[in-house]
Chains A and B, each alone.
Chain A
Amino acid sequence: MEATVTADMLEREKAFNDRIARGEVIEPKDWMPERYRKQLIRMMSQHAHSEIVGMLPEGNWITRAPSLSRKASLLAKVQDEAGHGLYIYSATETLGVDRLELTQQFLDGNAKYSSIFNYPTLSWADIGAIGWLVDGAAIVNQTALAKCSYGPYSRAMLRICKEENFHHKQGYQILSIMMQGTAEQKEMAQDAVNRFWWPSLMMFGPSDANSPNSEELMRWKVKLHSNDDLRQRFIDRTVPQGEAIGLTFPDDKLKYSETTRSYEWGQINWDEFKAVVSGNGPCNKQRMQARKTAEENGQWVRAAAEAYAAKHYN
């Protein structure tokens, strides 16, 4: 009996792998290995949590935006992050796990989110740097994910990429204007890039040699490119843009190589990365506390809505 079950499973798994190899898209009700489902849930929920935590550093400047048009754009952008979180949670729900459960895991400290959002936003220029560098890195990642093997995730990414491109332009434009402004403004813009450059590169995750999940995810075409490849792509596209508006990068090894037609660059501080990912970045506690407070303050509201629905919609 057991032997046949195992044989059957192996056959199913082989059929699944063949589908992946043929480039087919997996849909929610299709059979999939439990491990594929688990890895997707882990990866997608981390992504969704990141969007939600990502609202906080930028939200920090909504009330202090320097003009009404900037205020409106920033608010719309942070609102988009909430929307992105929502789209990705929705896509994750197709794997049989409820958003409320995922949120609880996150609040209990049992789920990760992108390390970048544990850095503080200290000046208005940081809003430019986040749009240009952080969203730029996110776009490189998400454009790849838009071609991933799981249908709902790939569709969520397509939708999100459209909006992120707009954020990316906006961030670059904020820095461009500052780089044409007063000495103080230029200093502020450069300082923001100095602080956000390395953390942005860390967004692509550990180097391929040290990325525990990469091999499996690539075999399943959840990931289509390695962390290092995407990171290099981001650097190659970003550095010339920065130089065009007079920005420099905090890496003395950074230089263009005519032979590889690509940038050579220095070394990421992986100790810092590990510290931030494991909860010891500059703002980890503050970010988690903000989300917990929002959750706690919302409890009575959700309870009221539930009670109202029980009375009126049963």
Chain B
Amino acid sequence: MTKNQALYEYALRLGDTSLVLGHRLSEWCGHAPLLEEDIALSNMALDLIGQSRLMLAYAGTLEGKGNDEDALAYHRDARQYRNLLLAEQPNGDFGYTIARHFLLSAYLVTLYQKLTKSSDETLNGFAQKSLKEMIYHLRHASDWMLRLGDGTPESKQRVQESLDACWLFTDDFFDADAVDAILQDGTAPDLADIKTTWLVTVTSVITLAGLQIPATTNGFMRSGSRKGNHTEYLGHLLADMQFIPRAYPGTKW
């Protein structure tokens, strides 16, 4: 694998994760528990879709086949998608969406912080811009983890169950492979470092919320996003998302 190919893969991972997570959040629009949350979740979805556009455009350039952001978003199948598995999980209830977003935004904040020091100019610029957005997401999700964890007995139980369910997909965040190895030249951070910082962040909020860090010894952890081994949900998400460009090939909208 050349460095260029590794960078292409890396850009897809970032771009696809933002796109799929943004898509999931956008499904809330019009259905949130409070009007203000409709607006908040839409804002976050918009941030993520914006991030994905930057990274997919970059991936297209690196690939060099003339694919733009839309060609990559709308004309790859699930096996070619590189988003983290947790991002594609269905919204569930508001507590699940919050737990999912909490774990993912804590990860992205940590990752983007490191990427602001990347030797790759595009990744660096992307991270500078996106970090501010993700810090806000983490704050929003952390506040809600506290409210739900330390709210009513029902909310505590619900959000704990969601946290446990989401936790199974967190090893996938840190699944380093040849791509990461090639980019250890100052382009991308060491995922083992990210894991340490991430764990400190999420543990402090989970503890403060009166919740338990999920036990991983009994459950097996799911991973596979690096190779495009997704859960069944992604195919349905893409069928929905890609419908128009697939049904009317070659059209402009």
Contact = CB atoms under 8 A, between A and B. Distances in A.
B42 interface: yes
A64 B42 contact: no
Contacts of A246: none
A69 B74 CA distance: 12
B253 A301 contact: no
Contact of B29 (A69, A79, A182): A79
A311 B30 CA distance: 30
Given A66-B253, A83-B39, A301-B95, A72 B150 contact: no
B177 interface: no
Interface stretch (B99-107, B122-130, B179-187, B241-249): B241-249
Interface string A154-190: 0000000000000000000010011001101100000
Interface string A108-125: 000000000000000010
A303 B154 contact: yes
A298 B148 CA distance: 12
B152 A75 contact: no
A270 interface: no
Interface stretch (B43-51, B77-85, B191-199): B43-51
B39 A82 contact: yes
B120 interface: no
Q: Is the interface of A mostly helix, strand, loop or mixed?
A: helix
Given A70-B253, A304-B148, A308-B150, A62 B26 contact: yes
Pick the most buried of B23, B245, B252: most chain A CB atoms within 10 A of its CB: B252
Q: Is the interface of B mostly helix, strand, loop or mixed?
A: helix
Contact of B39 (A86, A181, A293, A308): A86
A307 B148 CA distance: 9
A71 B93 contact: no
Interface string A27-69: 0000000000000000000000000100110010011111111
Contacts of A181: 251-253
Contact of B46 (A79, A85, A301): A79
Q: 9 tightest CB-CB pairs across the interface, nearest first?
A: A298-B33, A304-B151, A304-B155, A79-B42, A66-B253, A55-B30, A66-B244, A301-B33, A59-B30
Interface of B: 19, 23, 26-27, 29-36, 38-39, 42-43, 45-46, 49-50, 52-53, 56, 69-70, 73-74, 93-95, 146-148, 150-152, 154-155, 158, 240-241, 243-245, 248, 251-253
29 contacts: A62-B26, A63-B26, A63-B240, A64-B243, A67-B245, A67-B253, A68-B52, A69-B53, A70-B253, A72-B49, A72-B50, A75-B26, A75-B29, A75-B46, A79-B43, A79-B46, A82-B38, A177-B252, A177-B253, A178-B253, A181-B252, A184-B251, A185-B251, A294-B31, A298-B32, A301-B34, A303-B154, A303-B155, A304-B155
